Structure 1
Amino acid sequence: MAQSNKQRAAWCAIAVTCVSGFEGLRQVAYRDPVGIPTICFGETKGVKLGQRATLAECQGMLADSLELANRGVDACIRAPLTDYRRAALVSFTYNVGQGSLCGSMLARKINAGDTAGGCNELSRWTFAKGIQLPGLVKRRAAERDMCLRGLL
């Protein structure tokens, strides 16, 4: 579904705030809580420990990755999405990937018209490599709240 520039700007501003707030900015590559080399606002693809990035490079990576995540949302979700719901799903997809979104009960429920049930599925995605991470618990709660916005 094609989005106007105004729609894109709205969900993107919300998603940037959410993702950057939870990921934080680190301009030197580090290992995330489960050992994956990470840089900038949570970028992992092709990252090597010791790698450095400027603020502009990090912002560019974030913009590109959010756009990729948005395309993933469009590929998986057929139901109409409010700006907050799209931002929540883009943040989620940025974090777990398109494949995880597409194969999830979250996507199945939203596509079946059970928006609240789908949004509530976000709370189940708090584990990385079998370990429940406090940061993911907080992030999923925020994404769930955004996803449910306007329903309750």
Structure 2
Amino acid sequence: MTTKPPSTGKRIGAVGIGGAVLGIAAALVAKWEGVRYPVYPDPATGGAPYTVCYGHTGPEVKLGQTYTKEQCGILLEHDLAIAQAIVRKCIKAPMLEHQEASLISATFNIGPRIVCGSTLQAMANAGNWVGACAQLSRWNKAAGRVMRGLTLRRMDERAVCEGRGAP
């Protein structure tokens, strides 16, 4: 996610994430992103977008910087809140907690296009959650090529979406 986070904020829970939905999403993101305190190049491009912490990107992230554990927690909380707002804006059908959490994780990783203007969005808004969850598997490419890590991540998000897996 690329919106600049607040410099301070109310901290809830162990990593600043409150509520079951965001807790599940945070666990998925942390599992697949890991945490890295020094800024590093994007694995798909070998350059921009530069990344830090739990997969945070943005214009303020520059090579040579190092973030703290607390800063990374604040970034994760902020980025997940943005992803949740996007999911809730574009998916109007009722969602179970695990469905919303899986879409927040995918939106965090991919951006709004996975839930806004996609086949996944159309299926979810029609109440076809079997089809919507299955659509997650299609989003496994970066820089135009299939990435094994993204394939595995989407399988995990799909399992959570379908209610048959936990992060």
2:22 equivalent to 1:12: yes
Q: Deviation per CA, 1:84-125, whole angstroms, max 9, x where unpaired? A: 111000001101112342011111111012110011000000
Q: Secondary structure at the match of 1:102?
A: coil
State how far apart, in whole Å, the 2-side matches of 1:37 and 1:22 are: 17
Unaligned stretches of 5+ residues in structure 1: 1-7
2:72 equivalent to 1:72: no
2:104 equivalent to 1:90: yes
- Given candidates 10, 22, 37, the residue that maps to 1:27 is 37
Count of residue pairs brought into register by the alignment:
143
- Given candidates 120, 131, 138, the residue that maps to 2:145 is 131
Post-superposition offset of 1:51: 1.4
* Aligned twin of 1:142: 156
Matches within 5 A, 1:110-129: 110-129=124-143
State how far apart, in whole Å, the 1-side matches of 2:158 and 2:113 are: 19
TM-score norm. by structure 1 comes to 0.90
Superposed CA RMSD in Å reads 1.2
Give the counterpart letter for 1:44 in structure 2. Answer: T
Moved more, 32-41 or 107-116: 32-41
Give the counterpart letter for 2:102 in structure 1. Answer: A
- Given candidates 25, 33, 38, the residue that maps to 2:51 is 38
- Given candidates 66, 87, 91, the residue that maps to 1:52 is 66
TM-score norm. by structure 2 comes to 0.82
More helix by share: 1
Unaligned stretches of 5+ residues in structure 2: 1-17
Q: Deviation per CA, 1:46-104, whole angstroms, max 9, x where unpaired? A: 22111110000001000000000000001100111111111000001101112342011
1:99–1:124: structure 2 CA closer, same or farther, 3 Å change rule? closer
Q: Give the 4+ runs in structure 1 shifted more than 3 A.
A: none
